[in-house]
Amino acid sequence: MKKASLKDIAESLGVSKALVSLVLNGKGDERGINKQTQEKVRVKAKELNYIPNQYARGLRIGRTNTIGVIVPDISNVFYGKLCKAIEQEAYDKGYNLIISNTYEDVQKEKKLISDLINRNIDGLILASSFDSKNEIDGLRNDKFPLVLVDRVFDDFDVDSVSVSNVAGAKKAVEFLYSKGVKRPVCFSLSPVYISSISERIQGYIGALKNPDDAKLVQIPHNDIEGGVVTALAELKNEDYDGIFCVNNNIAKALLRELAIQGDQLTNVEIISFDDIELFDIVIPKVSAIAQPIKEIGKTAVKLLLERFANEDNHKTKGVVLDTVLIER
């Protein structure tokens, strides 16, 4: 059961390892190697069940065919699906993935980035929790292949894939108005250094008929449940009839709290950024601004591979994808 190597094929055929390597890497024609010899090599490789040793190859080539992926939390459905999309695309192209979670912990994120680089990844796809682009400026200066997803930084010269958060949030607010809502509230996250969140807030404010009506509820990101409880209590005394949640975590917490309180909030229209299965099942109904998760993942991998293929004079790209309104 010992694994066959190039040498085994070469010896059993009476040719050199170099020739075998060339043929198996598809450079046979280019190098003008005899068609019949090529065929013999391929047959023998199959017969011996030859599996190239990626590590010998990696050592020689200087690449490892491994992409690092860092997300806040893979058990959050949004990131679960994103990783799935990335995995699928990467796998098709012959790349492995190393996936890690930060749990929004900035220190852990720093450590993970250097750990992954220590493990010789070829490139990194990052949904960062950093509050500042300075944290990853080092990567950019080292010209390390990096693609930001979901959360990006303004005026930052790296590849990125995000969605039109401002436009999406606008769509959400306009939907609320179309349902007869007079005064929509935004359930937001604090602190709001994460680009996606701040853009959604900006979209919310921009879409208000009367900007003075803006009502932003800050929910602490490390205690979403508690923040929602406080928010609901506070709003009891206010005159509002629509809620826009900036992400699915907040909407989930809101729904859970309503379930606990036995309140169905019948006079309030709710919409959330991020569409999740839950919204199909639960009362009250929650509409959503859905993100094209598959395309985000696919595009991120594509950008990385373009960069690999074109290391010297790569032009960075900021891809922005559109969202879709799901009415319920």
Residue 55 binding its own copies, by CB under 8 A: yes
Is residue 282 within the footprint of its own copies (CB under 8 A)? Answer: yes
Please report, for the chain, how many H helices and E strands are present, in that order: 13, 12
Smaller CB distance to its own copies: residue 171 or 298? 298
In the list 34, 53, 132, 178, the residue contacting its own copies (rule: CB under 8 A) is 53
Could you tell me where the DSSP H helices lie in the chain? 6-13, 17-24, 35-47, 54-61, 77-92, 106-118, 134-141, 165-178, 195-207, 224-235, 248-261, 278-281, 293-309
User: Of these, 16, 35, 39, 51, which contacts its own copies (CB under 8 A)?
Assistant: 51
Of 25-33, 105-113, 241-249, 267-275, which part binds DNA (CB under 7 A)?
A: 25-33
Alpha-carbon gap, residue 4 to 75, rounded angstroms: 40
Q: Which one of DNA, its own copies, none is in contact with 321 (Cβ closer than 5 to 8 A by kind)?
A: none
**Residue 235: both structure tokens together:** 């709003």
> What part of residues 54-113 is at the interface with DNA (CB under 7 A)?
56-57, 59-61
Q: Does 74 bind its own copies (CB under 8 A)?
A: yes
Min dist. Cβ of residue 94 to DNA (A): 12
Site membership for its own copies, residue 77 (CB under 8 A): yes
Q: Are 13 and 44 in contact (CB under 8 A)?
A: yes
Burial tier of 183 (Cβ tally within 10 Å: 0-12, 13-18, 19+): middle
H or E segment and range at residue 69: strand 66-71
Decide if residue 17 touches DNA (CB under 7 A): yes
Residue from the set 31, 43, 178, 259 that interacts with its own copies by CB under 8 A: 259
183 contact partners, CB below 8 Å, separation of at least 6: 213, 215, 239, 240, 241, 242
User: Distance between CA 147 and CA 166 in Å, rounded?
Assistant: 21
Rounded CA separation 185/90 (Å) = 40
Does 24 contact DNA by CB under 7 A?
A: yes
Provide the binding-site residues for DNA, judged by CB under 7 A. 3, 5-7, 14-19, 21-22, 24-25, 31-34, 37, 50, 52-53, 56-57, 59-61
Provide the binding-site residues for its own copies, judged by CB under 8 A. 1, 51-56, 58-59, 64, 66, 73-75, 77, 80-81, 83-84, 87-88, 91, 96-101, 115, 117-120, 142, 252, 255-256, 259, 277-278, 280-283
